[in-house]
Amino acid sequence: MIDAVGRHRGAGMGGGHDEREQTLNQMLVEMDGFAGNENVIVLAATNRLDILDPALLRPGRFDRQITMVYPDVKGRYDILKVHSRNKPLAPDVDLNSIARSTVGFTGADLENLLNEAALLAARKGNKAITSDEVDEATIKVVVGTEKKSHKVSDEDKRLTAYHEAGHAVSAHFLGGQDPVHQVSIIPTGMAGGFTLHTPLEDKMYHSKKKMEEAIVTLLGGRVAEKLIIGDISSGASNDIERATEIARNMVTKYGMSDLLGPITLGSGETEVFLGKDYNTVRNYSEDIAKDIDKEIKRIVTEGFNRCEDILTDHIDKLHKLAAYLIENEKIDAEGFIALMNDEEVDNACDEEDLISSENNSDSADTEIEKNTSEVSNEEKASGSPDETEA
């Protein structure tokens, strides 16, 4: 990675005697073009082109640049073919299907997916990798490893079930979001549960409508806690952070605010350790800063109210899904659609039993502070990988 030694000189930490600047100076001298090194080709890679010293990119040095983006569906299929050469695949494994369902995956992610699937198949004693191992490996790559031995109290289990059900139900009835692939309340990775969406196609742009709907979906967990539990927990902290970040980008980066208009506000990223300055330049006034805060609050609040309306109108679906999750801990796409269509799902517990148990419990008076640290980060997997939105 050339940015390890080639960051912008005179910015951030250190000075002219910084060892990285001395290394960069020597590199620039060797590549100045005065010496005859015609048989030497220098290749370098970076994912932070913006912090490189301009002298590295002038003609005669790294003047030919090739941009490597995330692979499309054809690229993912070709990558999967390469990494599956020496791995026995069962007849039910379709590389085309895997390529379509792994939007946002890099080549390394796809390699890791097949390696994890092979390890899972070996642990089960299978002679070939089946679609079940591929699905389990996909979740492991995106979210993390399931902690099935982790003990979760009934209170936390119920809280997580309604939280995840809020995400899934709000996304389903919005209509414009990626379909729900799986919902789980098993602690996985750093999350106490997750709602996984599968993008249907590669996307280059995000519309204002889609971003507003993403905020609604992210707030589904907090709204469900408020409506059903009667209290709110720290489990929605990451959801709120991501929703606020989307709203801030809509206002300051994408020009999607009717009040402020199509202008960019702020100077973007300013990480001092990655080659930026200590001092940031704010290119707007105090009055504009107040308007930015008001617009961000308006967008997030409207998303919250919209989500509250959706879950209130479909409260029966919320109870059904939470009841199923409490009983079975996870549900796949087919089972989720069946529940939303009021169809029978195997092993589903009675919704009336759950509601009656809620009325007899004093859950509204319990201390939500008992919530585990895993629940506080549970929605890192919610939504599409492209923000993610991966």
The Cα angle at residue 313 between residues 195 and 212, in degrees rounded to 5: 55
- Is the same domain home to 188 and 123? no
Rounded to whole angstroms, the Cα distance separating 1 from 320 reads 50
- Same domain assignment for residues 129 and 258: no
Q: How many CA atoms lie within 13 A of 302 on its CB side?
A: 12
Confidence (pLDDT) at 306: 96
**DSSP codes joined into one string, 298-322:** HHHHHHHHHHHHHHHHTHHHHHHHH
- Is 179 in the same domain as 244? yes
Q: Please give the Cα distance from 25 to 19 (Å, whole number).
A: 10
161: which 2 tokens?
A: 């079930």
- Asked whether residue 237 falls in the same domain as residue 274, the answer is yes
Other beta carbons within 10 Å of 327: 15
- On whether residue 65 sits in a domain, the answer given is no
Active-site annotation holder among 133, 164, 213, 351: 164
* Same-domain pairing of 225 and 87: no
CATH number of the domain enclosing 321: 1.20.58.760
pLDDT confidence of residue 241: 95
Residue with token string 């939105």:
389
Query: Where does 128-279 have alpha helices with state H?
Result: 131-142, 154-174, 208-218, 220-224, 237-252
CA distance 365 to 278: 47
Q: Is residue 389 part of a domain?
A: no
Report the DSSP beta bridge partners of residue 332: 182
Looking at the structure, do residues 177 and 128 belong to the same domain, yes or no?
no
Query: Which pLDDT belongs to residue 271?
Result: 52
**What's the pLDDT at 165?**
94
Same domain, yes or no: 201 and 96: no
Q: 134 and 184: one domain?
A: no
Q: Are residues 292 and 265 in the same domain?
A: yes
**What's the pLDDT at 272?**
47
Residue 164 annotated among the catalytic residues of the structure: yes
pTM over 0.85: no
Q: Distances from the Cα of 109 to the Cαs of 181, 193, 329, 389, in angstroms?
A: 19, 22, 26, 17
- Two tokens, residue 182: 């799986």
pLDDT beneath 70: ranges in the chain: 11-18, 33-38, 267-281, 346-390
pLDDT score at 148: 76
Digit-coded pLDDT (tens) for 240-254 = 999 999 999 999 999
pLDDT of 381 reads 41
For residue 175, what are the domain limits? 154-381
Strand partners, 191: 188
Place of tokens 């930490």: 13
DSSP line for 118-136: HHHHHHHT-SSB-HHHHHH
Say whether both 171 and 308 belong to one domain.
yes
Determine, yes or no, domain membership for 365.
yes
Give a yes or no: residue 213 inside a domain.
yes
Q: Which of the listed residues 104, 119, 142 is the one where a domain comes to its end?
A: 142
Q: DSSP string covering 21-54, please?
A: HHHHHHHHHHTSS-S--TT-------S-GGGB-G
What integer pLDDT is reported at residue 280 of this predicted model? 53
Give how many domains the chain has, as a whole number: 3
